[in-house]
Copies of this chain bind each other. A is one copy, B any other.
Amino acid sequence: MTAKTHLYAILEKAEEGDRLSRIVDLFIITLIVLNVTMVILETIEGINETYGKFIELFETICVLIFTVEYMLRIWCCTADTKFARPLTGRLAFMLTPLALIDFIAIFPYYIFLLVTIPPDYTLPLRLLRLFRLLKVGRYSHSMQMFGRVIWQKRRELYIVAFALTLLLVIVSSLMYFVEHHAQPEAFSSIPTTMWWGIVTLTTVGYGDVFPITPLGKFFGALIAVLGVGMFALPAGILSSGFVEAMQESHRGDKCPHCGKDIHNHG
């Protein structure tokens, strides 16, 4: 086993029993979580003035480590037969979603170093650093499971999304027609009324827009009673898909006594 294949195994998600790989994984995950926490805390006023120096230093260290990690990944990816060719293989590897996320996690830092950013673009570029969170996806069982559930239920979700869009269009048009004259501000157009529609049908109900005419209240009440169920459907679909996925992952368990699949037993 060459140094390259060895390094490749360490950087990939740890196999059971591979202690060094596991430590590297945990180190990277801790770094990501700490870094993202800082990006979040940074937005609190006053924090920057007091801890600005420390945050900047920590950011630099993180980016350096992530850069080294990225470089090493590109160097040793040829250990995988899929990316075996020195140039085209590495290019193909760089375009895989996980490698792209790794790239997005570091490049805003270098942009800031190289170019003078106009102040309007500072905030979006700083927030882009939150994408680092997606680097955790490589190690996280739960994020992969969620991805799988959404993929498995895509047909159901399409149908429901279509029905919800239809419902929202009809409901908002009706309400626009009924309330437009009484509240020309809040119900100024059908797209504006859709804000009311979603806030009501998801039962959030901020209270910034609501019907005030008797007819508007009548239709609003009817819409609430009938529509609330529809907007709860995606939750129900995902929920049942999630439960199924959990059961399946249980089913794959080995028997703790004999090591065979549990289903081969009575």
Shortest C-beta distance, A136 to chain B (Å), equals 8
- Top 3 nearest A-B pairs (CB, nearest first) are A229-B235, A142-B159, A204-B205
Q: Are A166 and B189 in contact (CB under 8 A)?
A: no
What does the 1/0 interface line of A137-173 toward B look like (CB < 8 Å)?
0001111011000000001101110111010011001
**Of A50-58, A99-107, A220-228, A254-262, the one with at least 4 CB within 8 A of chain B:** A220-228
User: Which chain B residues lie closer than 8 Å to A60 at the CB level?
Assistant: none
Q: Are A189 and B43 in contact (CB under 8 A)?
A: yes
User: Which chain B residues lie closer than 8 Å to A143 at the CB level?
Assistant: 162-163, 166
User: Which chain B residues lie closer than 8 Å to A204 at the CB level?
Assistant: 200, 203-205, 224, 228
- Provide 6 A-B residue pairs closer than 8 Å at the C-beta atoms, listed in order of the A residue: A43-B176, A142-B163, A198-B225, A206-B210, A232-B235, A235-B236
**Contacts A155-B246, A229-B239, A246-B155 given: A45-B140 contact, CB under 8 Å?**
no
Task: Give the contacting residue for A199; candidates B45, B123, B133, B205; CB below 8 A.
Answer: B205
What does the 1/0 interface line of A21-56 toward B look like (CB < 8 Å)?
000000000000000100111011100000000000
User: Which chain B residues lie closer than 8 Å to A15 at the CB level?
Assistant: none
A5 part of interface (Cβ distance < 8 Å): no
Q: Please give the residue numbers on chain A whose beta carbons come within 8 Å of chain B beta carbons, in ascending order.
A: 36, 39-41, 43-45, 123-124, 127, 130, 133, 140-143, 145-146, 155-156, 158-160, 162-164, 166, 169-170, 173, 176-177, 180, 188-192, 194-195, 198-200, 202-208, 210, 217, 220-221, 224-226, 228-240, 242-243, 246
Q: Are B228 and A202 in contact (CB under 8 A)?
A: yes
**Contacts A145-B159, A166-B143, A190-B43 given: A230-B225 contact, CB under 8 Å?**
no
Q: Are A188 and B45 in contact (CB under 8 A)?
A: yes
Q: Are A239 and B243 in contact (CB under 8 A)?
A: no
Q: Are A127 and B177 in contact (CB under 8 A)?
A: yes
Interface centre among A41, A123, A166, A194 (most CB of B within 10 A): A166
Residue of B nearest to A167 (CB): B146
Task: Give the contacting residue for A140; candidates B124, B162, B229, B237; CB below 8 A.
Answer: B162
